[in-house]
A = this chain, B = another copy of it.
């Protein structure tokens, strides 16, 4: 399936700018999740740090990308599935982070099991963060 950068931006009422196109393209091309620093480096330091911060924030608000909770509390982002768009991330995710190489995968096709919590707790979202060794590191 084709992912159209420009379409995605338009669909979310965002103007088409260089930084948005290139940063979104990085996500589309990337297999794993990206941290702020990854974007800074992989884009060849083409944009200001601040622009990257603001672009990521905008993308998160629009539901184009989402943040990933990681075991080491580093901030990483990954593309959302179409279902996410609109700023509501009600889909449940499984994320995998490799202990060796640090690559973070978004395992969208693995379903998150339903949990039953103690009385008085209501669930709005469930994230599963798995650590271990990935394909490449075996």
Contacts of A123 on B, CB cut-off 8 Å? 130-132
How far, in Å, is A115 (CB) from chain B's closest CB? 6
A7 within 8 A of B: no
- Residue contact A132 to B122, C-beta cutoff 8 Å: yes
Copies of this subunit: 2
Q: A133 and B122 in contact (CB under 8 A), knowing A73-B74, A94-B115? A: yes
CB neighbors of B among A81-104 (8 A): 94, 96, 99
- Residue contact B115 to A125, C-beta cutoff 8 Å: no
- Residue contact B74 to A125, C-beta cutoff 8 Å: no
- Residue contact B125 to A71, C-beta cutoff 8 Å: yes
- Residue contact A107 to B96, C-beta cutoff 8 Å: no
- Residue contact A126 to B125, C-beta cutoff 8 Å: no
Question: 17 interchain pairs (CB within 8 A)?
Answer: A69-B71, A73-B74, A73-B75, A96-B121, A107-B117, A107-B118, A115-B128, A117-B132, A121-B133, A121-B134, A122-B138, A124-B133, A125-B130, A126-B128, A126-B129, A126-B131, A129-B129
